[in-house]
A and B are shown apart, each in its own frame.
Chain A
């Protein structure tokens, strides 16, 4: 990674503090108490509110415009999602399962839209896709290593060599395409974009809520798994079309 990349990927102090609050808030929410999610909310929305009041002046005009644009995109997607969810629940009548996952789904859509809009404005489609694929790949890599290590040492404490090799091969089959995609995106952006949209469609078909009762949970999983792929793929195709 050259110095320019390192400079652009390094978040400012406010971003680091806000990110730390989000991580702490989500950790507290998962491990301690569900009501402590508000700590993540302070990190996610606090800096923006302080900037709008005028108490925090760490953005220049380009960053302010990017933030306003991303906020508008998040409002459009989040508003539409909220109306669709409300309509669906109303149609289901009093017996419709209203769960906290529906709220989580709308929040996830808003947050992902805001994040993608910001990243696309800052980096463009190719670099954004590269970072997203590397993040996905790294996550699965850590997850895979943790699984392999925990399964390699069985209950008796002995090391299972055959199982470990099998685990590494299976893990590589999942992780490899993410890193391969990150490498290919700057070389063949339109092709990579098409592949990502196909993968998103495959995910939707495989993990979709078709015929299930817990639509909200499945849609949330799909939003976090397939939507980033679809958004990256679409952005790459649009950028390829406008650049030519």
Chain B
């Protein structure tokens, strides 16, 4: 699945997906759930806490 396809399914722009992948943007709970649903996994499987940065 391309970034654009994922963005289209989640209802966001490709730039948003790029920023999440790079760790520069933390998605809202709603978007995290939509992304996890797209992949058929749970949010915990898709995202993990960055212990050093103190966030996801």
- Give residues 1-53 of A contacting B (CB, 8 Å): 7-8
Nearest to B12 among chain A residues (CB) is A60
Q: In the complex, what residues of B have CB within 8 A of residue A122's CB?
A: 15
Q: By the criterion CB–CB under 8 Å, are B15 and A61 in contact? A: no
Q: Does A7 lie within 8 Å of B14, measured CB to CB?
A: yes
Residue of chain B at shortest CB distance from A8: B15
Query: How many Å lie between the Cα of A8 and that of B15 in the bound state?
Result: 8
Q: How far is the CA of A7 from the CA of B24 in the complex (A)?
A: 20
Q: Is the CB of B14 within 8 A of A62?
A: no
Tell me whether B13 is interfacial, beta carbon within 8 Å.
Answer: yes
B25: A residues at CB distance < 8 A: 62, 65
Instruction: Identify A63's interface contact among B4, B16, B27, CB under 8 A.
Output: B16
Interface majority SS (helix, strand, loop, mixed), chain A: helix
The answer to whether B11 touches A62 (Cβ under 8 A) is: no
The answer to the question of B31 belonging to the interface, with a C-beta cut-off of 8 Å to chain A, is yes
B28-A60 in contact (CB<8A): no
Residues of A within 8 A of B11 (CB): 60
Q: How far is the CA of A60 from the CA of B24 in the complex (A)?
A: 16
The yes or no answer to B42 lying at the interface (CB within 8 A) is no
Say yes or no for B19: interface residue by CB 8 A criterion: yes
| Interface band, chain B | 10 to 19
Mask, B13-33, CB within 8 Å of A = 1, is: 111100110001101100100
Residues in A with CB closer than 8 Å to B13 are 60, 62-63
A124 to B16, CA, bound (A): 13
Q: Once the chains bind, are A60 and B16 in contact (CB under 8 Å)?
A: yes
Complex CA gap A61/B33 in Å reads 14
**Whose C-beta in chain A lies nearest to the C-beta of B13?**
A60
Query: How many Å from the CB of A87 to the closest CB on chain B?
Result: 37
Return the CB mask of B36-56 against A: 1 if under 8 Å, else 0: 000000000000000000000
Q: How distant is the Cα of A173 from the Cα of B24 in the complex, in angstroms?
A: 38
Quick one: closest A residue to B10, CB to CB?
A60
| A interface residues with partner B (beta carbon < 8 Å) | 7-8, 60-63, 65, 122, 124
Please give the residue numbers on chain B whose beta carbons come within 8 Å of chain A beta carbons, in ascending order: 4, 11-16, 19-20, 24-25, 27-28, 31
The 21 listed contacts between A and B (C-beta, < 8 Å) are: A7-B4, A7-B14, A8-B14, A8-B15, A60-B13, A60-B16, A61-B12, A61-B16, A61-B27, A61-B31, A62-B12, A62-B13, A62-B15, A62-B20, A62-B25, A62-B27, A63-B15, A63-B16, A65-B25, A122-B15, A124-B24
- Ranked 8 nearest A-B pairs via Cβ: A62-B16, A60-B12, A62-B25, A61-B28, A60-B16, A60-B13, A62-B19, A122-B15
